Structure 1
Amino acid sequence: MHILILSLLVAAIGAFATPSTEPAMSTEPVLSNEHKLDNITDAASIQGRDGGTWGGFADSCTDIRYYLNAEDWQRYLDEGEGVGTKPFLKSPHVVAKCPNLAGQKQCSVLKIGDCMGNRGGRLEPAYKGEWHKTCTSCAFQEDGRVFYCQCYTGKGGKLEGNIVNLNEIINNFDGKLACFSNFGKPDYCPGGPSFDIGQWGYRPWPVHG
């Protein structure tokens, strides 16, 4: 499969979002940009450019899944603990199979805590922004684009719901998920569905009307 490589010009994102401080957490709880090369980025095209992110991964990747870290997953298994209120202990992951420039698909795992930050309760693209430390109750649509979370507005603040399009933040870097200069690690792609917070009786999506 031949992939046409187009030239890439990316503007640096200069400000890093700083996560808000969240309420004290208990411990314990398995795991835009329109610059695309047929939605696959190559190393030469972004050499020396680590100040931004490009997006477009969902246009070329398949089997996109959202999983919790092992410690957070265990916390959900411990009945009722932390559901809907406590921030994550560690970054959740996005997992996907993406074609490289040779057309071969491979699986990679990306920590999405490396891709966004919480700025006053709003998720924004940020290099290693660690939004997960102040957000909770996240939901993911299987197409990999729509991601909903509730994030604290500050210390002692309220939770604010917001939706981001991960396809504007995460890109396919020669078969690996990537954001800014953070790259997904090659790994096994589980065949199961994404983590679904709705199974714990929590409805994260806003009800309209």
Structure 2
Amino acid sequence: MGTVTTFLCLVLVAIGENGEYSSHCGRPTLLWHDDAPFLGSLCDGGPKGTQCTELDIGRCYGNKGGQLAAFKDGDYYNTCKDCSLKRELQTTLSCYCLRDPAGPTYSYTEIDTDKDIENKDGFLTCFGGGQKLCRPDEGRLF
């Protein structure tokens, strides 16, 4: 029984380390810089408290057969269009993505960014990368 309990505790700790940025960040917004999508938000936990942070979310998601999927450096935006954030907390990324990069057929797809992106010391991160402050003129967007 002790082994099962230890295993379950380790699983819960691992789950707690991933995602759920929305519990410490507010008003996520989809931004574009240099033809790449960024998720911007005001997040708690920075060196001076709440700070404006952004993450290149092409580093977090890719297109697998017309469906958004979490994987490092997926660059989903190269084969997806009309992307936006939806739902009450604005954490659901929705797009129309090509089923086949060579074909003309798009599929509607959604993914909950709150499961894969986290707030680490006031910075949005995924797959261990990120940690960038917003550009100075963007703070007013939030």
TM over 0.5: yes
User: Normalising by the residue count of structure 2, what TM-score does the alignment of the two structures yield?
Assistant: 0.79
Q: Deviations over 1:50-86 (max 9, x none)?
A: xxxx11001110132111235xxxxxxxxxxxxxxxx
Which residue, out of 63, 66, 75, partners 2:27? Answer: 63
Match of residue 96 from structure 1: 41
Q: Could you tell me how far apart the structure 2 residues matched to 1:118 and 1:159 are?
A: 11
Q: Structure 1 unaligned segments of length 5 or more: list them.
A: 1-6, 11-33, 37-53, 71-89, 194-209
Matched ranges for 1:78-97 at <5 A = 90-97=35-42
Q: Could you tell me how far apart the structure 2 residues matched to 1:56 and 1:112 are?
A: 15
Stretches of 4+ aligned residues off by more than 4 angstroms: none
| Residue correspondences, number | 128
Q: Deviations over 1:101-144 (max 9, x none)?
A: 76811111100000011111110000011111100011213723
- Paired residue type of 1:122: Q
Root mean square deviation, CA, Å: 2.3
- Paired residue type of 1:35: G
Which residue, out of 32, 35, 39, partners 2:16? Answer: 35
SS at match of 1:144: coil
Task: Give % identity.
Answer: 25
- Paired residue type of 2:96: Q
The structure with more helix, counted as a fraction of residues: 2
Q: Could you tell me how far apart the structure 2 residues matched to 1:68 and 1:158 are?
A: 25
The structure with more strand, counted as a fraction of residues: 2
User: Normalising by the residue count of structure 1, what TM-score does the alignment of the two structures yield?
Assistant: 0.55
Q: Could you tell me how far apart the structure 1 residues matched to 2:48 and 2:139 are?
A: 21
